[in-house]
Amino acid sequence: MQTALSSPPSILRYPPRTPHARSIDAPTPVEIARVRPYNIRLSSRELGWSAVQIERREIDPSSIAFAAGATEHLVAVSLGSGRITRELMGKTETAILVPGSVALQPCSVPMRWSWDTRLSLTLLALDPAFLLQVADEAFGLRPEEVDLVPVVRKSDPVVATIVGTLSREASEAQPGNEVYAQSLARILAVHLLRQYNRR
């Protein structure tokens, strides 16, 4: 099914996660930095940031499966146009991306992505433990009350602003950039909890 990103605020939404029993041989979540690193054009990984990382990627048509999800909450912002298909919990949906489109993949959520156009995007990777800390401090939420919704939106101005600022910090590596990134990570966490949390 193809869905144009024109029905705000969200396009792809999915039902609540169901707990799974995990066997010893079950797959484990993947660290996104280890996935096709040759696609990375800019990264903050060497700057010592702890709560959030940023990557700029250029990706040829392909597909990728996260059998046990990712180790971090992933927020992707499209820098161009394209088309993506996501498979989650037996559902397959396709969305048209425009510059500024935002896709959220919560950590540890099994998902498969595929795309038949070249994608240019900036990716934020937020530490799940940091999100839980902010959820407790700012909202009084317990860990079981934090449940981000996998979703694609046509735009998110708050996320776009954070991405632009973190991109500059990663590019210029000015003194104090780690403290700056930590502050923006807190703003990002509050925004995700306000706008994307299921509870």
Does residue 17 belong to any structural domain of this protein?
A: no
CA angle, corner 15, sides to 196 and 157, nearest 5? 25
Residue 71 sits in a domain whose CATH number is 2.60.120.280
- How much is the CA Rg of the chain, to the nearest whole Å? 16
What are the phi and psi torsion angles at 198 (to 5°)?
-70, -25
For the entire predicted model, the pTM comes to 0.85
Does residue 162 belong to any structural domain of this protein?
A: yes
Does residue 93 belong to any structural domain of this protein?
A: yes
Q: Tens digits of per-residue pLDDT, 120-163?
A: 999 999 999 999 999 999 999 999 999 999 999 999 999 999 99
Q: Is the pLDDT of residue 3 over 60?
A: no
pLDDT band for position 19 (cuts 50, 70, 90): very low
Split into its structural domains, the chain has a count of 1
Tell me the residue range of the domain where 168 lies: 41-195
Q: What is the pLDDT of residue 26?
A: 60
Strand ranges (DSSP E) for 143-192? 151-153
What are the phi and psi torsion angles at 108 (to 5°)?
65, 20
Does residue 6 belong to any structural domain of this protein?
A: no
Does residue 113 belong to any structural domain of this protein?
A: yes
Q: Are residues 125 and 172 in contact, defined by beta-carbon separation less than 8 angstroms?
A: no
Does residue 8 belong to any structural domain of this protein?
A: no
Does residue 89 belong to any structural domain of this protein?
A: yes
Does residue 166 belong to any structural domain of this protein?
A: yes
Q: Is the pLDDT of residue 10 over 90?
A: no
Lowest mean pLDDT of 3-17, 58-72, 165-179, name the range.
3-17
